[in-house]
Structure 1
Amino acid sequence: MAAPPASSPTPVASVAPPTSVAAPSTASATPRPAVSSPPTPVSTPVRSCRSPEFTTSEPDGGWETGGYYVHNNMWNEDEAGPETLRACSHDNWYVDSTQPSTTSVKTYPNVHKDINSLDGKPFDGYSAITSTFAGRGPGVGIYDVAYDVWLNGVGDGDGVTEVMVWTENLKQVPSGDKLTTYTAGGFTYDVWTNDEGYVAFVSRTTQYSGSVDLKAMIAWAIGKGLIPPNPTVNQIGYGIEFCSTGGGQARFTLTDFSVTMN
C-alpha cells in the first residue's frame, strides 16, 4: 500500500508516529513485483537543487517551509537502509537512498500539505482541489512515485481513507485488487482497492510531470462507493515509496509540487 503518515511539527490532523505517510498497519503490506516495465514516460522540467538549505539523514527528519513539509519519512526504519534528503525549497529537493533487494516498502520521502483538523471544511465545501507535480525515480530497483491523500484523518483510525495516485511505477503493485479503470486528462489509471480504506489510481503511462484533479478523482471514487461521502481532506503529499534500490545508492528528484484548494 502506501507508507505511514507524515506530519509537520504542529500537525493539524491526528497523525501517526514516524510515518509515510501511512502507518505501518496501513502501508506495510509486502508488495508483489509487477510483471511489465513502465510505458513511455511524459517528460519532466529541468531543475536542480545546487545549494540545499536543509539536509537530513534522520529517519523522521523534516523541514517546514512555504506552507509545506518536506519529510525524509523512513517509516519502516527496521528494514530500511540509509537515506539522505537535501532540499532547496518545498518544490525543489532530492533524496539519495540505499535499500536492500527486498519487496517491502522501506521509506516514503515526500512533500505534503496539512489541510485541516477533523472538524474542518468537508470535501463538498471545495469547488476545486488540484495539484501540480514533477518527480523522477532512479529507474532501478522497486518503487512507485505517488500522491498520498488522507481523508477523515491521517494514518490509522476508524473511517480513515488513504487515496494514492501513482505517476511512475517500477515493479511495484498496490495493495488489494484491481477493480476498474479511470480516465482523465488523457491518462488511464487502473484503480486498486482493499477493505482497509485504501484506494490507488495507478497511471498506465509514466508521468514525470503534470497536474492532477484530485477533487474529480475523489468524487468519482465516492460515486463508486470506494470512499465515504463528504470526507474531510486532511493531508495531500507527493513523493516516492522505495522498496529496493538493488542494494546500491539511487536518487529521486522532485522539481515541482503545489496544491490549490478553493
Structure 2
Amino acid sequence: MLALLLAIPFLAVAGCGDVPVDGVAAAPAPPPVATTSSTAVPGTSAGSATPPTSASRPAPPSTPAPPSTTPVRNCRSPEFTTTDPDGGWSDGGYYVHNNMWNAGEAGPETLRACAYDNWYVESVQPDSSSVKTYPNVHKDINNQNGKPFNDYSVIKTTFAGRGPGVGVYDVAYDLWLNGVGDGKGVSELMVWTENLKQVPSGDKLTTYTAGGSTYDVWADTDGYVAFVSRSAQYSGSLDLKAMIAWSIGKGLIPPNPTVNQIGYGIEFCSTGGGKARFTLTDFSVTMS
C-alpha cells in the first residue's frame, strides 16, 4: 500500500505469495504463486486489514537478478536502532520508519540506521499470505498539505537497495497523492524496483518504459497504481514526475493531485522461515 504526522505508519499495498544483504545467501526461488490483495490501511485511525489472496491470477515470472551495482557502503556504527513496530528516526529532512503496520501477524524486526540513506533491517516473517511490514525511508512534503502536482517542474529520486533473495517481498517506492493513508480521493502510486513472488493489487493494464526499464502497470478501483519493473533494479534514478503525469494521462490518478509523501523500502510478506536482511545505501528526493 510521523511525530503525529511522522509517526503515522503509512500503507504499503500489495499481495503476497502463499509462502513475506548482507550475509544472507539467496535460495532458489520456488515456482510463482498466484495471489492478490486489497487495500489495507494501517494506523491508529483506521486500523489494518489482512490482504486476501486469490488463485485466479498467476504471479509474474521471476527475473534472474543482474550483477549488483549497489554502492559499497556499510552501516557499522548505527545512530539509531529500534525493534518498536512503529519506531522511527528523523534525519536530514527524511524519516526512517520500521513501519510494522500489520504487527498482529508480523514476526520480529530490527532496524539499524547510520543515516537516512544508509541503514538496514533484519526481519523474521512467517509464511502466510499477507504483507507484514514496510520498513522504509520517506520524505513528507509541506507537513502533509502537499503542493499541486502542476506546480512542480522536477520530481526526481535516486535509490539503492537490495532484498534478501529469499521469501516473498517487493522493494518499492510508495507515493501518496491527495493525502496519506485511507481517505476519499487519496491515491497511492508504487514503483517496484525488485520483486520476488509478489503480486500487486488490482489488474495488469499495460506497460510503461523509461530509462531503459520496462514496467508492468497494475491498478485497482481504489486509487492504487503500481509500476512493476520486469527486471531487478538495485540502484538508479527515477523521474517520478513523468510517472505521475503518465498515470494522470491514463486516468489512473486524478488531475493535478497534491504530492504528500515519497518513500522507498521493502514490503515483507515472508522471509522463508529465517532471518532476512534488506540493506539501503542511497536515497534522495529532488523537487522544484
Asked whether the two chains share a fold, i.e. TM above 0.5, the reply is yes
Residue of structure 2 equivalent to 1:232: 258
Pair 1:38-2:63 in alignment: yes
The answer (yes or no) to whether the contact 2:107–2:126 under 8 Å persists in 1 is yes
Residue among 74, 87, 98 paired with 2:113: 87
Residue identity over aligned pairs, in percent, reads 74
Q: What displacement does 1:246 show?
A: 1.2
Residue among 24, 29, 39 paired with 2:40: 24
Residue of structure 1 equivalent to 2:196: 170
Pair 1:130-2:152 in alignment: no
Q: What displacement does 1:192 show?
A: 0.1
Q: What SS does structure 1 have at the residue aligned with 2:132?
A: coil
Residue among 230, 242, 247 paired with 1:216: 242
The answer (yes or no) to whether the contact 1:19–1:74 under 8 Å persists in 2 is no
Aligned 1:24-103 pairs, distance under 5 A: 24-25=40-41, 28-30=50-52, 34=59, 36-41=61-66, 43-103=69-129
Cα RMSD (Å): 1.9
Task: Describe the shift of the 1:140–1:258 C-alpha distance in structure 2 as closer, same or farther (beyond 3 A).
Answer: same
Q: What displacement does 1:31 show?
A: 5.4
Q: 1:169-220 CA deviation, whole Å, 9 max, x = no partner?
A: 0000000000000000000000000001100000001000000000000000
Q: What SS does structure 1 have at the residue aligned with 2:122?
A: strand
Residue among 5, 26, 32 paired with 1:11: 5
Write the letter of the residue equivalent to 1:36. P
Residue among 210, 227, 231 paired with 1:184: 210
Residue of structure 1 equivalent to 2:27: none
- State the alpha-carbon separation in 1 of the partners of residues 145 and 121 from structure 2: 35
Q: What displacement does 1:80 show?
A: 0.2
Residue among 246, 259, 262 paired with 2:272: 246
Residue among 199, 206, 216 paired with 2:225: 199
Q: What SS does structure 2 have at the residue aligned with 1:222?
A: helix
The answer (yes or no) to whether the contact 1:147–1:236 under 8 Å persists in 2 is yes
The answer (yes or no) to whether the contact 1:29–1:175 under 8 Å persists in 2 is no
- State the alpha-carbon separation in 1 of the partners of residues 50 and 159 from structure 2: 25
Q: What displacement does 1:116 show?
A: 2.2
The answer (yes or no) to whether the contact 1:118–1:152 under 8 Å persists in 2 is no
- State the alpha-carbon separation in 2 of the partners of residues 31 and 139 from structure 1: 22
Q: What SS does structure 1 have at the residue aligned with 2:102?
A: coil
Gaps of 5+ in 2: 14-38, 43-48
Q: What displacement does 1:118 show?
A: 6.0
Residue of structure 2 equivalent to 1:109: 135
The answer (yes or no) to whether the contact 1:141–1:245 under 8 Å persists in 2 is yes
Q: What displacement does 1:121 show?
A: 1.9
Write the letter of the residue equivalent to 1:75. W
The answer (yes or no) to whether the contact 1:31–1:172 under 8 Å persists in 2 is no
- State the alpha-carbon separation in 2 of the partners of residues 125 and 18 from structure 1: 27
Q: What displacement does 1:21 show?
A: 4.7
Gaps of 5+ in 1: 3-7
Number of matched pairs: 253
Structure 1 length-normalised TM:
0.91
Q: What SS does structure 1 have at the residue aligned with 2:73?
A: coil
The answer (yes or no) to whether the contact 1:30–1:105 under 8 Å persists in 2 is no
Task: Describe the shift of the 1:253–1:30 C-alpha distance in structure 2 as closer, same or farther (beyond 3 A).
Answer: farther
The answer (yes or no) to whether the contact 1:39–1:205 under 8 Å persists in 2 is yes
Structure 2 length-normalised TM:
0.83
Q: What SS does structure 1 have at the residue aligned with 2:243?
A: helix
